[in-house]
Amino acid sequence: METIVSLGVGLLMGAGAWLVLRPTSFSVVLGLTLMAYAINFLIFVAGRIDRTSPPLTLKGTSGWADPLPQALVLTAIVISFGMTAYLVALALRALGDTGTDRIDGRAGDGDERP
């Protein structure tokens, strides 16, 4: 289980990092979204991968799943969602102002939007 989760987080993070380094803002937005997914997984498993403990404190059970990462991940999701929305709005505005989707605002050779 640990292996699968860590491979998944690594894969998402790697793909995100590659996309963020692309010169067009569309792929950067996608890359940041993938990185945010990777982070959400990572925070979630920071409270240990646990299949047996109940999520709530019930009578007669000892120990329960760590509730804090769930709260943290919720905050992280909300913030990354808001940031992505703002980034998309800003990218659209930059597209309108500069006429190109490239991150440096210069029309370049290749890597244009399809």
Partner 1 sequence: MSHLPILPFLVPLLAAALLMLLHGHPLAVQRSVSMGGTLAGLAAALLLLHQAAGGVMSVYALGNWPPPYGIVLVVDRLAALMVLLVFLLAVPALLMAAGGGSFDARGRHFHTVFQLQLAGLAGAFLTGDIFNLFVCFEILLLASYALLVHGGGAERARAGLSYVVLNLVGSTMFLVAIAILYGTLGTLNIADMALLLPAVPAEDLPLVRTGLMLLMLVFLLKGALMPLGFWLPHVYAAATVPVAILFAVMTKVGIVALLRVSVVALGDAGAAARLFLPWLPLLALGTIALGTIGAFAARRLATVVAHLVVISSGTLLFAIAMADEAATAALLYYLPHTTLVTGGFFLLAGAIALRRGAIADHLVRGPVIAGRWALGFAFLVMAVAASGLPPLSGFIGKLMLLQGAAAPGWQAAWWTTLLVSGLGVALVLARVASTLFWEPEGHQASAVETQRIGPVASLALILLVAASPVLTFAAAPVSAFARATAVELHARTPYLEAVVAGTGPVQRETRPTPEPERTAP
Residues that bind partner 1 (CB under 8 A): 20, 25, 28, 32, 35-36, 39, 42-43, 45-48, 50-52, 66, 68-69, 72, 75-76, 79-80, 82-83, 86-87, 90-91, 93-94, 97-98, 103-105
Q: What DSSP element (H or E) covers 79?
A: helix 68-98
CA distance 92 to 1: 41
CA distance 10 to 55: 27
Least distance to partner 1, CB of residue 105, Å: 4
With respect to partner 1, which residue has the nearer C-beta, 58 or 85? 85
